[in-house]
């Protein structure tokens, strides 16, 4: 096992690589992220990156995990006060704000825009944690039908996508978070036709 100083240096270098990838994504989109460009930005040659990430898809996996970690940290900082509905609204607004302020994050977390990319099991566990937290609040707020979770995720991802695509920097869609969450919780059809 390498000494702690070497491990720290390696972790720092890996973070520089991830940061450079986010810079490229923020400037030119996720599709512009290449190992060549990331290596150039961190002052390395592309083959040297392979000691930190095994491929471009592996780099996206690290970015996916990091983005969810940051989102979960924001959610953890929310006050656990008020009704379940109030907590659900805070969580919802936090998710929407998080992805709207950084469109590549929205694409990486909530869309399949990168051909061949599928998060690793370890990285995907972070997404599952968010789903479990959300589902718990939905149930506590009275949304007990599992289909309401599906509707909720579609609404929240859709608000973020619409805001980014049609009113960047504005609030045309984000201002409707409370109303749309209310529709999912309160007005979802309770009865379904039998097949």
- Residue 148 is predicted with a pLDDT of 94
- Per-residue pLDDT, 195: 47
Query: What confidence score (pLDDT) does residue 190 get?
Result: 55
State how far the Cα of 32 lies from the Cα of 20, in Å rounded to an integer. Answer: 12
For the stretch 51-78, pLDDT in tens is 999 999 999 999 999 999 999 999 999 9
Mean per-residue pLDDT over the chain, rounded = 93
Can you give the pLDDT at residue 193?
41
| Closest C-alpha among 68, 80, 100 to residue 177 | 100
**The model's pTM:** 0.90
CB 93 within 8 A of CB 69: no
pLDDT digit string, tens, across residues 132-179: 999 999 999 999 999 999 999 999 999 999 999 999 999 999 999 999
Q: Which domains does the chain have, with CATH numbers?
A: 1-53 (1.10.10), 59-195 (1.10.357.10)
Per cent of the chain over pLDDT 90 is 91
Q: Per-residue pLDDT tens for 36-45? A: 999 999 999 9
């Amino acid at each position: 096992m390498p000494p702690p100083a070497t491990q720290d240096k390696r972790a720092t270098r890996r973070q520089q690589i991830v940061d450079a990838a986010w810079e490229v994504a923020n400037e030119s989109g996720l599709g512009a992220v290449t190992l060549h460009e990331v290596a150039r930005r961190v002052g390395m040659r592309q083959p040297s990156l392979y000691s930190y990430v095994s491929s471009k898809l592996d780099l996206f996996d690290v970015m996916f995990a990091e983005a969810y970690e940051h989102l979960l940290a924001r959610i953890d900082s929310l006050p656990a006060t008020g009704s379940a509905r109030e907590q659900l609204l805070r969580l919802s607004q936090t998710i929407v704000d998080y992805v709207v302020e950084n469109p590549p994050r929205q694409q990486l977390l909530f869309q399949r825009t990168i051909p061949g990319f599928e998060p690793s099991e370890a990285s995907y566990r972070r997404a599952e944690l968010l789903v479990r937290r959300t589902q718990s609040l939905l149930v506590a707020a009275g949304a007990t039908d599992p289909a309401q979770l599906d509707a909720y995720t579609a609404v929240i991802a859709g608000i973020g996508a619409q805001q980014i695509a049609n009113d960047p920097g504005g609030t045309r869609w984000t201002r409707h978070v409370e109303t749309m969450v209310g529709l999912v919780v309160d007005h979802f059809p309770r009865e379904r036709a039998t097949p």
